[in-house]
Structure 1
Amino acid sequence: MSLNKTREDRLPLLPLRGLLVYPSMVLHLDVGREKSVKALERAMVENNLILLCSQSEVSIEAPTEDDIYKIGTKAKVRQMLKLPNGTIRVLVEALNRCEIVEYIDNDEFYEVYAKDLFDVLSDNSENNALMRSVLKQFENYISLSKKVTPETLASVSDINEPGRLADVISSHLSLKIKDKQKILETLDVHERLEKVLNILNDEREVLELEKQINKRVKKQMEKTQKEYYLREQMKAIQKELGDKEGRAGEVEELRAQLAKIEVPEKIKEKIEREIERLEKMPSTSAEGGVIRNYIDWMIALPWSKQTEDDLDITHAEKILDEDHYGLEKPKERVLEYLAVQKLVKKIKGPILCLVGPPGVGKTSLGRSIARTLGREFVRISLGGVRDEAEIRGHRRTYVGAMPGRIIQGLKNAGTNNPVFLLDEIDKMSMDFRGDPGSALLEVLDPEQNSTFSDHFIEQPFDLSNVMFITTANAVHNIPRPLLDRMEMLYISGYTEIEKLEIAKKYLLPKQRKEHGLTDDQLVVDDKMILSIIQEYTREAGVRNLEQQIASLCRKVVKEVVSTDESKQVTVSTKDVEKYLGPSKYRYSLAEKENQIGAVTGLAWTEVGGDTLTIEVTVMPGNGKLTLTGKLGDVMKESAQAAFSYTRSKAKELNLEPDFHDKYDIHIHIPEGAIPKDGPSAGITIASALISALSDVPVSKEVAMTGEITLRGRVLPIGGLKEKALAAHRAGIKKVLFPEENEKDLNELPETVKQDIEFIPVSHMDTVLEQTLIQ
């Protein structure tokens, strides 16, 4: 572009930040930059003319040529005023568009050669139509936007020049600088009007959308404010009436409860969310009851509350001895736990399993452990439980849903570290409702139970502080994975001497108190109690013994009440039958005389050890072998093995070589209604068979247990302690047992080892030497 560079074309330049000036505009500008101030001063000295061009970026403090738009507006400076803060306020009147042709090298201020630009007019009729459309749209814009006053519309409507109309309307629109610059650079008036019309259309759509959004927001806010106002009114009314009913009072009460308890942050957030849900729920909603029930459970659980352990070992030992007589191994294990706790402060709760016959004190030992530690005690019975939900709870979407028994027990205990007794763990079963045994795997695993998940609670609960104790009568019914997680403590049963001490120290005082008797009103001696133990009970534990003592107390109470309440009743051995009736069991189960073909065997049952007599009768016949007494497959095989051994050793045992062809043999084990099975009757059957065939009696003082091989070797058995206790109860003097079980003798009470001679045997020859009386 060529230009004759005259003095009139040379103008000082004022760069504008965030502002664009259209021709015909009159406005005030605040100028603060040094170069801009000097440019104004030059303009005032020369002809009051200055070029106003916008910067492309507002943030640039010292713009270069590339940062300033080429097309701007020539303006006349009408007034200039210095302000106290150092800036200059200047009043300018915009004249016409101008284009920068060339920058003049000037360090003090921006100075350029500029060329005037003029509007390009086209068809007037079309421009008139466009002007009307633009004015109409601008009117709509003003009605939607509150930024432009209606007076502005009146002043704009009087403009007849299409180019000036486009400029004035553009100056009132909230546009970006680059969009305003495009309109400024458009010299064709028709094109400029079209651009303004498009912009007005777009702005109108945006403003209409904003209006709709604002209307919705306002409506929502009005609704929320109304609800808030009404709630506040309701609270005020309820407060005035002292009425805490209704959802608001309920929510307030729950929040107060939550503030009082200590819970992990994550759990607290969960409870707060549920309270908020409850607050928004209508009071008639059925789901409100479900949420309230859930919140009550979450608040009631002892998330952080626990009792402090009493780790005084001497005191603990004293309590255990007070509560239980004997049970040395379980007591020792509890004291070991306390000692470890005292040193390391925190140990993953051990899972103890107390295994033993009924009535030996498994449950009461668990209660004593809790008392020893100073912890709360929780007991749940798993007998007959067959639903997994009993352990893990139901989903709270179900009607009547509740947490499982573990969470319920913790709530009842009120602490997160009670002693938790799972009674009868071997009596669980499974069906279509799930396997509760598998659900217990998580509970009884110290590595997993720190994040136990109950279906109802839906949040992990830490069970690692709980001391779990389980009880069982037999181990073989417990699933193997569950068994691996527990430490077995076997409680075999009591000797007669131990039962006597238990009756004197625990059972008799307890029953005296329960029946309202004093020590003076009922006097018994040791012989009388021993008589009850031997003639009226036959058990490993002491439950039946306590029942007999309770029966004795009732009879004495009746006698005292019907005669003289100060009367003293002394019960001796000869009076036992008067109070308890005829004796139920023989004084001794050992044979009174030496018998041919009858041998006392020792058996293990789920209720402890027991003695059983194996009888063999030989009759003329053709070699038929008959087995009776409701025997299981294992015992039948033991009888077959004993018979084959006897046949193979007939010559060495001085038996008739063809006895299996000439005689029928009948092996019978009395009490045929009771099932009997197990691999420990082999040497007993063989001894009875050889005694019957050789017509040699068996010693009445001998009892035995052990399995036999076809070559006569004696195999080891289980339950030696229980069997030894049964032999002791029966008055047996000599017990033959497999040599490989000799290590089990260490578990026997000293009184049993003193009264019974234990003879280890490894072969049938040794058995016969000890049993047959030649």
Structure 2
Amino acid sequence: MKENNIKEIPLLPLRGIIVYPTMVMHLDVGREKSIAALEDAMVEDSQFLLATQKNTDADDPSPEDIYLTGTIATIKQMVKLPNGTRRILVEGVERAKILSFNQTKPYFKAEYTTLEEEHGERVEEQAMVRMLINQFEEYTKISKKLNQETFDTVKDIEDPGNLADLITSHLPLRLHHKQNILEYVYIPDRLDYLLQLIHNEKEVLTMEKKIGQRVRKSMEQTQKEYYLREQLKAIQKELGEQDGKGGEVDQLRQKIEEANMPERITEVANKELDRYEKVPQSSAESSVIRNYIEWLVSLPWTEETEDNIDIPKAQKILDADHYGLEKVKERVLEYLSVQKLTDKLSGPILCLVGPPGVGKTSLAKSIARSINRKYVRASLGGVRDEAEIRGHRRTYVGAMPGRIIRGMKKAETINPVFLLDEIDKMSNDFRGDPSSAMLEVLDPEQNHSFSDHYIEEPYDLSKTMFLATANQLATIPEPLRDRMEIITIAGYTEVEKLHISKQHLIPKQIKENGLTKSQVQFRDEAILKLIRQYTREAGVRGLERQFASLCRKAAKQIVSGEKKRVVVTEKQLEEFLGKPRFRYGQREDEHQVGAATGLAYTQFGGDTLSIEVSLAKGTGKLTLTGKLGDVMKESAQAALSYVRAKADELELDADFYEKYDIHIHVPEGATPKDGPSAGITIATALVSAFTNRPVRKEVGMTGEITLRGRVLPIGGLKEKSLSAHRAGLTTILIPQENEKDLEDIPESIRDDLTFITVSHLDEVLEHALLKE
């Protein structure tokens, strides 16, 4: 690069424009500084220096904002416009480099030196010029902004430097790229740089063209579909099939867009909607498709409530809603604590097992409330069709999803507390086994993709907290029971029922019957009598009905004007409810021969069982009555065999059983009874009958017997103890191996009862029978 002598000249800053040597261009000059520089140049020799601003937004640029390489230009023409702006015609002369700014006000004056171009090898330049012309020709053909005339003008230029400058001026390049072209004085470098730029611009134009074609094709397809859809609407209207269907399709399409479903489900819904649009409205298939789409958009796919597992708060809610049940509530809080730490549902499903009325369903509601989740319940009692769980196939009108999917729709979230009520009362027949279908629902390894026959697409149940309730475990299939953790709710003691009555049942019934606490009151002794003599149950459902009845009678007296305030006392119970229905304490009034009191566990809780043995002259015939099950009949036979084997020790004749017909009866003959735990009770009654030794009236017993007289463990000890306490018994004989279960029995019950552990029938007889 060669530099000539240093000179001084007015400088005109340009915004977004670069003027190259030999280029002729119109410029509008409006800034005061620029007009002052223009007037100074007109006074001198009509030449000034054009340099471009680095920042096009600057109205008053500083020297640092101006590129140091510019172009010396000559003013060919100037016109003053009405708004004060000067329009000038300039021609670039040569490149110049700014050395310093001698003046910045009222306009720029700069010292400069001109820059002379330097040529490389001639052959190299010619080759590069030829390539540049070819590239520019290809660019001209692709670009819509340049035409053939522009190319014809450029290709005739012989000077390589001017050629590069002119081509650059026609390209939509960034400002700094154009400035780089101006600063290159070595011709091969300028040509090489421009070749790179024009090649890149060609690729950009090609890509723009492809994108434009793709967009245009998509728009044409959309327009085509719209046109065809409008034609279809017109045809359907002429056929009388359009009544309301067009509006339904638009509504369904909007619902699909707003449903926030997974992409896969959205595709399925849109595909079904296209089918629905084509099917005539009179067709039966039309309603099937529409119902299916409605189900898809109404199900929660991603909506969920935020868990708020606060253990102290959950404990307060459980204590407020339920009195007692300490171990049950402790297990629930442990379960919730694990969920909080792991942030996921893990472990088995909780199954609350207990007699009716002990609060299983309300406990599930309290769990949902304590963690801020939606609550939904599905009753499984009497379900014997697999389709009730998995749904029906969409092959006929009236098909619908199963109870699980219907429950999720009702919950409106994917993480509700889902109660499977009465899971022990499912059955099976020729329509399938619904309990087997429940295996997929309750298995954490499978329920993330639960398959419903109606929905067909996998549905995620992994975030749902499933709880189940049952009255008894025996009827729950073993594979299903294996997936659940059993929490037993035995029943309530009298003390617990008293607290529940005062804290929950009475306030609830007073409110539901339109009364106030000041209008009706219940004395404690009246509540206890109601519990003991008007109800006999493990739960409190029957007790609540009695309170409801008392509140209604009180309301009648208040409304009729008989009384302004009703106080229910022990004496008034008979006036309101009639004679007591049950005798408090079912034990015998006197010691009886041939009658023993056993303890039983039923689906309604614990109960006492009186077993009677009668002997009559005969031939040794054994008769069993009282609607006994097979297991209980076998226990009676085993007990008789043991008594026969012990005839010598009991001081009986060797053929004693051949002289009598033996009749074993269990009262309440209409009620089915079964189980092995009555074994020692039957044996005691038999020994009492044969030896004529009375059985102690205050003693109750439970245990399975073997032929050798061993006493085997039983289940339901807590429930049986509660029933013994209700019946007024004071001494309970239990198997030795059940001693560990005593800690489950409430302390108030243990204090009133004497538990004696036995391992052999000899010990039972010693404690149960009176001395001769």
TM-score by length of 2: 0.68
Letter in 2 for 1:275: L
* Residue in 2 that maps onto 1:496: 494
Residues 708 and 221 (structure 1), Cα distance of their counterparts in 2 relative to 1, 3 Å cut: closer
Matches within 5 A, 1:283-294: 283-294=281-292
User: What is the rounded CA distance, in whole Å, between the counterparts of 2:689 and 2:226 in structure 1?
Assistant: 103
User: What is the rounded CA distance, in whole Å, between the counterparts of 2:230 and 2:318 in structure 1?
Assistant: 64
- Cα displacement (A) at 1:657: 4.2
Matches within 5 A, 1:10-49: none
Matches within 5 A, 1:583-602: 583-602=580-599
User: What is the rounded CA distance, in whole Å, between the counterparts of 1:367 and 1:659 in structure 2?
Assistant: 61
Q: Between Structure 1 and Structure 2, whose CA radius of gyration is higher?
A: 1
User: What is the rounded CA distance, in whole Å, between the counterparts of 2:451 and 2:260 in structure 1?
Assistant: 20
User: What is the rounded CA distance, in whole Å, between the counterparts of 1:634 and 1:386 in structure 2?
Assistant: 27
* Residue in 1 that maps onto 2:720: 723
For 2:652, what is the secondary structure of its paired residue? coil
User: What is the rounded CA distance, in whole Å, between the counterparts of 2:659 and 2:294 in structure 1?
Assistant: 82
The alignment status of 1:523 with 2:524, answered yes or no, reads: no
Letter in 2 for 1:403: P
The alignment status of 1:636 with 2:633, answered yes or no, reads: yes
- Cα displacement (A) at 1:228: 5.3
Query: Residue 664 of structure 1: which of 661, 666, 669 is its match?
Result: 661
Kept in 1: contact 2:584–2:726 (CA 8 A): no
- Cα displacement (A) at 1:580: 0.8
- Cα displacement (A) at 1:739: 0.5
Residues 415 and 225 (structure 1), Cα distance of their counterparts in 2 relative to 1, 3 Å cut: closer
* Residue in 1 that maps onto 2:61: none
* Residue in 1 that maps onto 2:757: 760
Offset from partner CA, 1:314-337 (integer Å, 9 cap, x none): 000000111111122321222112
* Residue in 2 that maps onto 1:707: 704
Letter in 2 for 1:674: T
Q: Which ranges of structure 1 fall in alignment gaps of 5 or more residues?
A: 1-33, 38-81, 88-219, 235-243
- Cα displacement (A) at 1:649: 1.7
- Cα displacement (A) at 1:287: 3.1
Query: Residue 546 of structure 1: which of 534, 537, 544 is its match?
Result: 544
The alignment status of 1:272 with 2:273, answered yes or no, reads: no
Letter in 2 for 1:387: D
Residues 650 and 516 (structure 1), Cα distance of their counterparts in 2 relative to 1, 3 Å cut: same
- Cα displacement (A) at 1:283: 4.7
Letter in 2 for 1:488: I
Matches within 5 A, 1:176-255: 227=228, 230=231, 246-255=244-253
- Cα displacement (A) at 1:86: 7.7
Query: Residue 449 of structure 1: which of 436, 447, 450 is its match?
Result: 447
User: What is the rounded CA distance, in whole Å, between the counterparts of 1:225 and 1:666 in structure 2?
Assistant: 89
- Cα displacement (A) at 1:246: 3.8
User: What is the rounded CA distance, in whole Å, between the counterparts of 1:621 and 1:286 in structure 2?
Assistant: 75
Q: 349-358 or 496-505: which moved more?
A: 349-358
Kept in 2: contact 1:349–1:464 (CA 8 A): no
User: What is the rounded CA distance, in whole Å, between the counterparts of 1:225 and 1:539 in structure 2?
Assistant: 70
Offset from partner CA, 1:288-331 (integer Å, 9 cap, x none): 33222222211111100011112110000000111111122321
Residues 232 and 520 (structure 1), Cα distance of their counterparts in 2 relative to 1, 3 Å cut: same
User: What is the rounded CA distance, in whole Å, between the counterparts of 1:663 and 1:316 in structure 2?
Assistant: 64
User: What is the rounded CA distance, in whole Å, between the counterparts of 2:657 and 2:431 in structure 1?
Assistant: 55
For 1:293, what is the secondary structure of its paired residue? helix
User: What is the rounded CA distance, in whole Å, between the counterparts of 1:337 and 1:464 in structure 2?
Assistant: 16
For 1:417, what is the secondary structure of its paired residue? coil
Offset from partner CA, 1:405-438 (integer Å, 9 cap, x none): 1111111111011111111111112222222111
Kept in 1: contact 2:314–2:370 (CA 8 A): yes
Q: Which ranges of structure 2 fall in alignment gaps of 5 or more residues?
A: 1-122, 127-151, 158-220, 236-241
Letter in 2 for 1:263: M
Letter in 2 for 1:639: A
Kept in 2: contact 1:246–1:283 (CA 8 A): no
The alignment status of 1:485 with 2:483, answered yes or no, reads: yes
Kept in 2: contact 1:350–1:468 (CA 8 A): no
Offset from partner CA, 1:85-133 (integer Å, 9 cap, x none): 489xxxxxxxxxxxxxxxxxxxxxxxxxxxxxxxxxxxxxxxxxxxxxx
Matches within 5 A, 1:72-87: 85=155
Offset from partner CA, 1:657-683 (integer Å, 9 cap, x none): 442233333322212222221101111
Letter in 1 for 2:703: G
* Residue in 2 that maps onto 1:654: 651
Kept in 1: contact 2:600–2:720 (CA 8 A): yes
User: What is the rounded CA distance, in whole Å, between the counterparts of 1:770 and 1:632 in structure 2?
Assistant: 28
User: What is the rounded CA distance, in whole Å, between the counterparts of 1:641 and 1:433 in structure 2?
Assistant: 41
Letter in 1 for 2:247: G
Kept in 2: contact 1:349–1:465 (CA 8 A): no
* Residue in 2 that maps onto 1:256: 254
For 2:531, what is the secondary structure of its paired residue? helix
User: What is the rounded CA distance, in whole Å, between the counterparts of 1:224 and 1:722 in structure 2?
Assistant: 72
User: What is the rounded CA distance, in whole Å, between the counterparts of 2:286 and 2:692 in structure 1?
Assistant: 85
* Residue in 2 that maps onto 1:118: none
Kept in 2: contact 1:388–1:435 (CA 8 A): yes
For 2:571, what is the secondary structure of its paired residue? helix
Kept in 2: contact 1:350–1:467 (CA 8 A): no
Letter in 1 for 2:575: K
The alignment status of 1:606 with 2:603, answered yes or no, reads: yes
Kept in 2: contact 1:309–1:374 (CA 8 A): yes
- Cα displacement (A) at 1:281: 4.2
Kept in 2: contact 1:348–1:465 (CA 8 A): no
Query: Residue 358 of structure 1: which of 356, 377, 380 is its match?
Result: 356
Residues 415 and 627 (structure 1), Cα distance of their counterparts in 2 relative to 1, 3 Å cut: same
Offset from partner CA, 1:542-581 (integer Å, 9 cap, x none): 11111111111122212222225x6111111111111111
Letter in 1 for 2:649: E
Identity of aligned residues (%): 63
- Cα displacement (A) at 1:442: 0.9
User: What is the rounded CA distance, in whole Å, between the counterparts of 1:455 and 1:672 in structure 2?
Assistant: 46
Residues 400 and 649 (structure 1), Cα distance of their counterparts in 2 relative to 1, 3 Å cut: same
Kept in 1: contact 2:233–2:246 (CA 8 A): no
User: What is the rounded CA distance, in whole Å, between the counterparts of 2:445 and 2:570 in structure 1?
Assistant: 56
Q: 649-658 or 743-752: which moved more?
A: 649-658
Residues 302 and 618 (structure 1), Cα distance of their counterparts in 2 relative to 1, 3 Å cut: same
Residues 248 and 612 (structure 1), Cα distance of their counterparts in 2 relative to 1, 3 Å cut: same
Residues 415 and 349 (structure 1), Cα distance of their counterparts in 2 relative to 1, 3 Å cut: farther
Kept in 1: contact 2:345–2:465 (CA 8 A): no
Residues 221 and 578 (structure 1), Cα distance of their counterparts in 2 relative to 1, 3 Å cut: closer
User: What is the rounded CA distance, in whole Å, between the counterparts of 1:456 and 1:646 in structure 2?
Assistant: 62
Kept in 2: contact 1:599–1:615 (CA 8 A): yes
* Residue in 1 that maps onto 2:420: 422
* Residue in 2 that maps onto 1:692: 689
- Cα displacement (A) at 1:464: 0.4
User: What is the rounded CA distance, in whole Å, between the counterparts of 1:701 and 1:222 in structure 2?
Assistant: 93
The alignment status of 1:743 with 2:740, answered yes or no, reads: yes
Query: Residue 537 of structure 1: which of 535, 538, 541 is its match?
Result: 535
User: What is the rounded CA distance, in whole Å, between the counterparts of 1:692 and 1:276 in structure 2?
Assistant: 83
Letter in 2 for 1:618: L
- Cα displacement (A) at 1:737: 0.7
Q: Over aligned residues, Cα RMSD in angstroms?
A: 2.7
- Cα displacement (A) at 1:84: 6.5
User: What is the rounded CA distance, in whole Å, between the counterparts of 1:584 and 1:222 in structure 2?
Assistant: 82
* Residue in 1 that maps onto 2:70: none
* Residue in 1 that maps onto 2:385: 387
User: What is the rounded CA distance, in whole Å, between the counterparts of 1:454 and 1:363 in structure 2?
Assistant: 26
Residues 228 and 302 (structure 1), Cα distance of their counterparts in 2 relative to 1, 3 Å cut: closer
User: What is the rounded CA distance, in whole Å, between the counterparts of 2:635 and 2:505 in structure 1?
Assistant: 42
Offset from partner CA, 1:477-511 (integer Å, 9 cap, x none): 11222111111111111112111111111111111
Residues 761 and 256 (structure 1), Cα distance of their counterparts in 2 relative to 1, 3 Å cut: same
- Cα displacement (A) at 1:285: 4.6
Kept in 1: contact 2:520–2:568 (CA 8 A): yes
Kept in 2: contact 1:703–1:735 (CA 8 A): yes
For 1:453, what is the secondary structure of its paired residue? coil
TM-score by length of 1: 0.68
* Residue in 2 that maps onto 1:309: 307
Q: 668-677 or 702-711: which moved more?
A: 668-677
User: What is the rounded CA distance, in whole Å, between the counterparts of 1:254 and 1:225 in structure 2?
Assistant: 17
